Amino acid sequence: MAGIDYSERIPNNVSLADNRRLQRALEEWHPKFLDWWMQMGPDGFQAKDVYLRTAVSVDAQGWAQFDYVRMPEYRWGLFLAEPEPGRTIGFGDHMGAPAWQDVPGEYRGVLRRLIVTQGDTEPASVEQQRHLGRTCPSLYDLRNLFQINVEEGRHLWAMVYLLDAYFGRDGREESEALLQRRSGDRDKPRILGAFNEKTPDWISYLMFTYFTDRDGKYQLASLAESGFDPLSRTCRFMLTEEAHHLFVGETGIGRVVQRTCELMREGKTDDVRRLGGIDLATIQRYINFHYSVSLDLFGSEMSTNAANFYTMGLKGRFEESKKRDDHRLKDSTYSINELDGDRIATREAPALPSLNERLRDDYIADCQRGLDRWNQVIKKHEIDHELTLPHRGFHRAIGLFGEVKVAPDGRLLSEAEWDARKQEWLPTEADQAYVASLMQPVTAIGRFANWIAPPARGVNGRPVDFEYVRLA
């Protein structure tokens, strides 16, 4: 790879040109990343021109430049949000001290683990989505898929930058390991459960971008509060990209719901499968699945790790700096669930170890907003039906609810009741086979698969019938 001007090849605002050691580390890593991308990134389409957004700087003009790019030539850049002069640590034992510009020695291992865990989710989602291009419902959707894929690739770069720039040799080893684990692989799985699930079809993908990318938003937002300033600034910039992923999920499911409602009205029936649509009951089961596996990503209700991350000043609460309390939480409490015989009750728990639950609460409130919007679409079609989020205890594997069976309405169930009814609540094999049968590629310019409505508008002011991917 000699002869490549890396400061040009890798757009950045981290003074890469002045940091020989970092340049060398990235020069070594870059071809390995490309190998991974060709092996595990989007299947096919690598030689096609895709209308993509590239960040070339962090200012308003530079962070969203649109042009046709072949994905392997995408310029994965390294960007940190602009520094806040005089920034101090906003919570925990070190509150008020200047933010760390270097890794605090005593927290080195913990910090590295936090960065690796976040970093691992980025390539994982690219792997999970790699076959979807083959069955895209439109060129518009295909382009959005690839936009998300290259940006998750960039998020991997962002975490690798931190590992290479601040963690020396173990950082470089972790950077390599991030390219070696594989989503769903029995021997070398990705670190977190939801990132080893399959994303076999476009409904699962849209649900993933709505529910699972949103977990990413909450993790990044709490890391953006970190006292380790480079991590904070990196995550702040990543959040600007994450917003697009959430948009794809929210509008994508909204478009599916809209199409379903149109078919229900046209055919005067709830059974839109006959008309090639996805019935609301099936959409609900997909919501139930993706929401519940995403809730698990927040971890146990009570967690010493979460308490330590906070006390150490490494990971804050969502919108920590907007909160008006002591930012130490040693004497405060937080309301969490507990099991009381055959019912679910609440109790006040010490605030620090319940930080996972607090973040989950913020996430749940945010998830509900999308549901409200989808329900508006249903209402506009004068259909009497409401999509809902299941109870937080439904279909959980981690924490308090991992040990019991809970119905979507929050009732505790026996194993037998659960087994008898779970197919009403989770996608069945028949649902998955039906959804799979709909996954026929639609690639004519401006055309959309029958099960999804076109978007309200195109990308970057372009029309909906723009040639977002040049397949010819």
Shortest distance (Å) from residue 40 CB to Fe ion: 16
Shortest distance (Å) from residue 144 CB to Fe ion: 12
- Determine the 3-state secondary structure of 49 from DSSP: strand
Among 155, 181, 190, 233, binds Fe ion (CB under 5 A): 155
- Determine the 3-state secondary structure of 52 from DSSP: strand
Nearer to Fe ion, 48 or 245 (CB): 245
Nearer to Fe ion, 141 or 152 (CB): 152
Q: What is the largest CA-CA distance in the chain?
A: 69
How far is residue 410's CA from residue 399's CA, in Å, rounded to a whole number? 16
Angle at 356 between CA 355 and CA 362, to 5 degrees: 90
Shortest distance (Å) from residue 454 CB to Fe ion: 23
* Crossing angle (nearest 10°) for helices 139-166 and 168-180: 150
User: Do residues 6 and 31 lie in contact, with contact meaning Cβ atoms separated by under 8 Å?
Assistant: no
Q: Which stretch binds Fe ion (CB under 5 A): 77-85, 153-161, 289-297, 393-401?
A: 153-161
Shortest distance (Å) from residue 202 CB to Fe ion: 16
Nearer to Fe ion, 235 or 307 (CB): 235
Nearer to Fe ion, 196 or 282 (CB): 196
Shortest distance (Å) from residue 253 CB to Fe ion: 16
How far is residue 357's CA from residue 336's CA, in Å, rounded to a whole number? 7
Which ranges in 129-201 belong to alpha helices (H)? 139-166, 168-180
Shortest distance (Å) from residue 337 CB to Fe ion: 29
Nearer to Fe ion, 152 or 197 (CB): 152
Shortest distance (Å) from residue 122 CB to Fe ion: 5
Strands 65-70 and 49-54: antiparallel
Q: Which stretch binds Fe ion (CB under 5 A): 61-69, 147-155, 164-172, 258-266?
A: 147-155
How far is residue 99's CA from residue 230's CA, in Å, rounded to a whole number? 9
Asked if 120 is part of the footprint of Fe ion (rule: CB under 5 A), the reply reads no
- Determine the 3-state secondary structure of 24 from DSSP: helix
Which positions from 188 to 227 touch Fe ion by CB under 5 A, shown as an x/- string?
-------------------------x--------------
Q: What is the DSSP letter of 265?
A: H
Q: Which has the closest alpha carbon to 132: 70, 244, 208, 184?
A: 208
Q: Which stretch binds Fe ion (CB under 5 A): 63-71, 79-87, 122-130, 271-279?
A: 122-130
Shortest distance (Å) from residue 346 CB to Fe ion: 32
How far is residue 171's CA from residue 271's CA, in Å, rounded to a whole number? 54
Nearer to Fe ion, 155 or 233 (CB): 155
How far is residue 141's CA from residue 52's CA, in Å, rounded to a whole number? 12
Nearer to Fe ion, 50 or 223 (CB): 223
Asked if 245 is part of the footprint of Fe ion (rule: CB under 5 A), the reply reads yes
- Which stretches of the chain bind Fe ion, using CB under 5 A? 122, 152, 155, 213, 242, 245
